[in-house]
Amino acid sequence: MSKEFANREDDYSKWYNDLVTKADLAEHSAVRGCMVIKPYGYAIWERMQAELDRMFKETGHVNAYFPLFIPKSFFSKEASHVEGFAKECAVVTHYRLKNGPDGTIIVDEDARLEEELIVRPTSETIIWNTYKGWIQSYRDLPILVNQWANVVRWEMRTRLFLRTAEFLWQEGHTAHATADEAVEETRKMLDVYSVFAEEWMAVPVIKGVKTANERFAGALDTYCIEAMMQDGKALQAGTSHFLGQNFAKAFDVKFTGKDGKQDYVWATSWGVSTRLMGALVMAHSDDSGLVLPPKLAPTQVVIVPIYRSEEALAQISEKVNVIKKNLEKQGIRVKYDDRDTQRPGWKFNEYEFKGVPVRLAIGERDLQSGTVEVARRDTREKMSMSLEGIEDRVIALLDEIQANLFNKAKSYREGNSFRIDSYEEFKKQLDGSGGFIYAHWDGTAETEQKIKEETKATIRCIPLNNGEEEGTCIYSGKPSKQRVIFARAY
């Protein structure tokens, strides 16, 4: 994917028209920055959702659902939390409309809410207000709950996929008896995200911990996975927070331990959003459209018949239906597109655009020779294969594509990661091809802030597997014990 292309939000909506559109039908600033996820795009989200949900359940979590509206007063209970979200909240102030003097509909000023409601930007407060009633004893712990929901953050500026005013996500909220257990949970869910990103999305990620500046509002530690897009910019793909006892104290959630002593509950929260769809698009796609990893592609194999006569189509369909059935028996998602309203060339382009990993084309010639044309989306290679045993080879090819996408993205990231020791070179690299810069940092918020102001680069994370290394901060020259990852980010 070309850089200019990757950088332009309006091009996304043109090129990935099958996935998503801006909410341009609603001619009102109130829905600015929202997006309409079309059925094909939603199918991808559903695939992601299904796999994540399975992984959450395998790690002992259950789903629940909490209110969309949060009383304003809940927010003020945790100081840094309210500070972090106050500037981007949608607020409900009235509950009734009435007819205005000129026949228009206006807000009934007599119907003002006693206490305003906040449309959830995240659900820590309303959930911890609820947990208060659920937890008395260590026997009630842990609580391992996840919620699939939409949230609203009134951003000053939005970007399609990456920062929309309303977005779909999942937020896990857990409660634990000990700090260790909560930290373990935080790390465990970070691993779940990392496995999902790498093994399902084929997007390599770096696990790390955020600096104090970049930390979630109300967390003691924010862990994250960071991915590199094809233009060298970083994208935070998921976060997992160790919340300490902050929310338990704010909502007075105490439990009695085995020893009979009361203590506040330890908390975590973790989330990924439809931003992952943006990551998927930006990590793999090329100028011919989407490239989807087989494990998440709503359609993994598409079969296109090429024929002149109805009789030929009938013969082809007979063969295809057998192949389709055999593949489906092995859990492969297959689509046979025998529409006579579109021509084969049109269909080829259509499915390339949609990122379908493998395409089979069968024509009269193939029937004669017992072959099938196989095209893979990732490399755009075409080859002729024997119809005999084609199912096994298609399945093997899907695995190969999945692996290839990951390896390609990974070698791209390795090729665009640099160890840099001078501030001059640091700036030069950022203005050049970008990428991840491993550099020494003195550990102070002031230095981090200065570098951000001067270069727009932020510390993406302190990698978890970081080796210790003596060095000096590229900015201040003060001593440093390890390198951190700097990058410009979405």
Q: Which residues bind RNA (CB under 7 A)?
A: 7-10, 22, 24, 27-29, 32-33, 84, 87-88, 151, 153, 155-157, 159, 162-165, 167, 214, 216-217, 236, 239, 273, 275, 288, 306-308, 340, 343-346, 348-350, 352-353, 359, 361-366, 373, 375, 380, 382, 456
Whole-number Å distance between alpha carbons of 68 and 378: 41
To RNA, the closest distance from the beta carbon of 416 in angstroms equals: 20
* 295: region left, alpha or beta (phi > 0 left; psi from -120 to 50 alpha): alpha
Kindly tell me which of 84 and 294 has the beta carbon lying closer to RNA.
84
Torsion over CA: 159, 448, 243, 70 (sign) = negative
To RNA, the closest distance from the beta carbon of 22 in angstroms equals: 6
Kindly tell me which of 54 and 343 has the beta carbon lying closer to RNA.
343
Strands (E) across 356-481 are located at 358-363, 371-376, 382-386, 417-419, 436-440, 458-463, 471-472, 479-480
Which amino acid makes up residue 157?
Answer: R
Whole-number Å distance between alpha carbons of 47 and 58: 17
Whole-number Å distance between alpha carbons of 231 and 83: 33
Kindly tell me which of 177 and 243 has the beta carbon lying closer to RNA.
243
Kindly tell me which of 73 and 349 has the beta carbon lying closer to RNA.
349
Nearest C-alpha neighbor of 214 from the set 417, 455, 462, 435: 462
Contact 240, 121 (CB under 8 A): no
To RNA, the closest distance from the beta carbon of 268 in angstroms equals: 16
To RNA, the closest distance from the beta carbon of 88 in angstroms equals: 6
Kindly tell me which of 275 and 413 has the beta carbon lying closer to RNA.
275
User: Percentage helix, strand, coil, to 5, in the chain?
Assistant: 40, 30, 30
To RNA, the closest distance from the beta carbon of 263 in angstroms equals: 28
Whole-number Å distance between alpha carbons of 320 and 184: 50
To RNA, the closest distance from the beta carbon of 279 in angstroms equals: 11
To RNA, the closest distance from the beta carbon of 139 in angstroms equals: 34
DSSP bridge pairs for 375: 359, 382
Q: Cα 299 to chain center, whole Å?
A: 20
Kindly tell me which of 32 and 132 has the beta carbon lying closer to RNA.
32
Kindly tell me which of 255 and 270 has the beta carbon lying closer to RNA.
270
Nearest C-alpha neighbor of 240 from the set 270, 219, 213: 270
To RNA, the closest distance from the beta carbon of 169 in angstroms equals: 8
Kindly tell me which of 39 and 370 has the beta carbon lying closer to RNA.
370
To RNA, the closest distance from the beta carbon of 432 in angstroms equals: 17
To RNA, the closest distance from the beta carbon of 360 in angstroms equals: 9
Whole-number Å distance between alpha carbons of 91 and 113: 11
To RNA, the closest distance from the beta carbon of 217 in angstroms equals: 6
Kindly tell me which of 47 and 215 has the beta carbon lying closer to RNA.
215
Kindly tell me which of 88 and 392 has the beta carbon lying closer to RNA.
88
Whole-number Å distance between alpha carbons of 240 and 250: 20
Return the C-alpha torsion angle 488, 210, 284, 1, nearest 10. 0
14, 121, 162, 178, 461 from 235: Cα distances, Å: 22, 20, 9, 32, 11
52, 176, 242 from 179: Cα distances, Å: 25, 7, 9
Whole-number Å distance between alpha carbons of 123 and 247: 11
Find all residues with CB under 8 Å of 322, minimum gap 6, and list them: none
Kindly tell me which of 76 and 262 has the beta carbon lying closer to RNA.
76
